[in-house]
Amino acid sequence: MRSTNFILAGLTLVAQLAWAAPTTDPAELKSPRPGFVPGYLQAGTWVDSLALLPPPPSAGSAAQLADDAAYQASRKLKDSARWVQAEKDAVLAFPKAAEVFQCALGVGISAEATPHLNMLLRRTLADAGLATYKAKDFYKRQRPFMAASDAICTPHEEASLRKDGSYPSGHAALGWAWGLVLTEVAPERANAVVQRARDFGQSRTVCGVHWQSDVDAGQLVASAVVAQLHGVADFNEQLALARKEVAAARAGGSAPACP
């Protein structure tokens, strides 16, 4: 019996030593470009957005007329508080991007306070955003502000946006992916988190840089990506560790300053 217990204890120790938590250090991941980290999915294994999505609305179609109407309605928001929020939602660089869902989640998000949650958002950003590019690059849909020669909420990005296809929206995809993941981290905050994810996507129409159908398509891609991520061990492990961080933050009374 003692021999058996000794062997089991040894096997347990080996398993513990072999297991390592997913990294929270960006330096340990090969960055695709400064300020960003790679996702959990291997390059080229992302959801096929071109196969998943229908073509964008064609000129003169009922769907394009609906897009036109939504765009014209969004022009009334220029320089409003909602316009300012849309400008803030356009920022994807961390640590600033980590603040997007803090108030909806009720917990501060940072590399210092919640390192696994922070990395979960950084890596899912890459997976959801990159998954949109097969369709983006194929359709090369013109963005609404280009045809109308209107102002956008992030004029410093105008040159790069002109070169990047509009359909589907990468921002809407990653924002929706964040919302879905965070509802698993904190299901008790699902209503607020999902609403924030929706508003994050709608910020792209407010800015005038995406059609409504771009946003809707981006969210569909995100749903498929998050389902795909559940088959990746590192994602599942980091998700579980993020849950523990959020629970600990709540137990400690930590909360972000929100309006």
> What pLDDT does residue 259 have?
77
pLDDT at position 173 over 50: yes
* From 89, 127, 214, 216, active-site residue: 214
Long-range CB contacts for residues 146-152, cutoff 8 Å, separation at least 24: 148/71, 148/208, 150/75, 150/208, 151/78, 151/208, 152/207, 152/208, 152/209
Q: Are 167 and 214 in contact (CB under 8 A)?
A: yes
> What pLDDT does residue 19 have?
54
pLDDT in tens, 128-170: 999 999 999 999 999 999 987 889 999 999 999 999 999 999 9
Give the pLDDT mean for 160-181.
Answer: 97
- Establish whether 143 is a catalytic residue: no
* From 141, 189, 196, 204, active-site residue: 204
C-alpha neighbours within 13 Å on the C-beta side of residue 34: 0
Give the pLDDT mean for 226-253.
Answer: 96
pLDDT in tens, 207-225: 999 999 999 999 999 999 9
* Structure confidence at residue 253 as a pLDDT band (50, 70, 90): confident
Task: Give CA separation, 155 vs 79, 95, 99, 173, in Å.
Answer: 13, 22, 22, 22
Q: What is the DSSP letter of 259?
A: -
Handedness of CA 59, 65, 71, 75 (dihedral sign): positive
- Establish whether 250 is a catalytic residue: no
* From 171, 189, 199, 216, active-site residue: 171
* Structure confidence at residue 13 as a pLDDT band (50, 70, 90): very low
* Structure confidence at residue 230 as a pLDDT band (50, 70, 90): very high
**More confident call, 3 vs 245:** 245
> What pLDDT does residue 30 have?
81
pLDDT at position 5 over 80: no
* Structure confidence at residue 124 as a pLDDT band (50, 70, 90): very high
Q: Is 146 exposed, middle or buried (0-12, 13-18, 19+ CB in 10 A)?
A: middle
- Establish whether 214 is a catalytic residue: yes
pLDDT at position 242 over 70: yes
Give the pLDDT mean for 72-81.
Answer: 95
> What pLDDT does residue 8 have?
41
**Token pair of 212, please?**
């409504």
pLDDT at position 120 over 80: yes
> What pLDDT does residue 6 have?
44
- Establish whether 116 is a catalytic residue: no
Stated pTM of the model:
0.90
Each domain of the chain, given as residue ranges in start order, spans 2-251
Instruction: For the domain made up of 2-251, give the CATH fold.
Output: Vanadium-containing Chloroperoxidase; domain 1 (1.20.144)
